[in-house]
Amino acid sequence: MKLETERLILRDFVKDDWKRALEYESDPLYLRYYEWTERTPESVQEFIGWFINHQTQEPRTKFQLAVVLKSNNQLIGSCGVRMDKVDDLEANIGYEFDPKHWNRGYATESAHAVVDFGFSYFGVHRIWADCVADNIGSAHVLEKLGMKLEGRLREKTYFKGRWWDELIYAILADEWQMHKQDHPVRWKQIEE
């Protein structure tokens, strides 16, 4: 699987990607909104291994793709769409990026492509996402996608010695079509 946007390639993960992922997943800024306090080679290899295992599903219901800069082929994060089971009527998205590449529009660019792919590939009615409420940058990405805040789950998760609220966002298929009229989505699937 490979998707191309203006500045990015979103492709299936390969085993060696764990080394670069470990670099950015070890950054304290990256770890701020995760339960993890550190990342090890073993934990990142297992993490990337899950994404690689999704590639063998038949039919495939999970696409967590490596996000690579076109300019230099550097892995800068991941973005994906997934359904819990075949024939689900909804899917969810998630993404993570190297903090050195935050605030450059990469999350929005890749998520636009992934949401559009999710609606066209899966034919779902709804795509949703969640984020830690303190993660304002992630909430802004979801809002730029045209997603609407559906709720705030107060003190939903406990980690790093405190409770964290979680925000739930979603967009419906017809809302996505309207959103695309004002915010054209430019991506293509590359056949290999």
pLDDT tens readout for residues 91-105: 999 999 999 999 999
Q: Angle at the Cα of 13 (from 17 to 109), degrees rounded to 5?
A: 100
**Section 31-54 average pLDDT:** 95
Burial class (CB in 10 A: 0-12, 13-18, 19+), 166: middle
Q: Where are the alpha helices (DSSP H) in 34-105?
A: 41-54
Q: Is the peptide bond before 184 cis (omega within 30 degrees of 0)?
A: no
Categorize the per-residue pLDDT at 191 as very low, low, confident or very high, splitting at 50, 70 and 90.
low
Q: Does residue 39 carry a pLDDT above 90?
A: yes
Predicted confidence at residue 178, as pLDDT, reads 95
Q: Does residue 181 carry a pLDDT above 80?
A: yes
Q: Contact, 45 vs 110, CB < 8 A?
A: no
Give the 3-state secondary structure of residue 128.
Answer: strand
pLDDT tens readout for residues 95-150: 999 999 999 999 999 999 999 999 999 999 999 999 999 999 999 999 999 999 99
Copy the structure tokens of residue 53.
């295992």
pLDDT tens readout for residues 156-173: 999 999 999 999 999 999
- Cα–Cα distances in Å, from 99 out to 24, 66, 85, 106, 165? 7, 15, 32, 11, 22
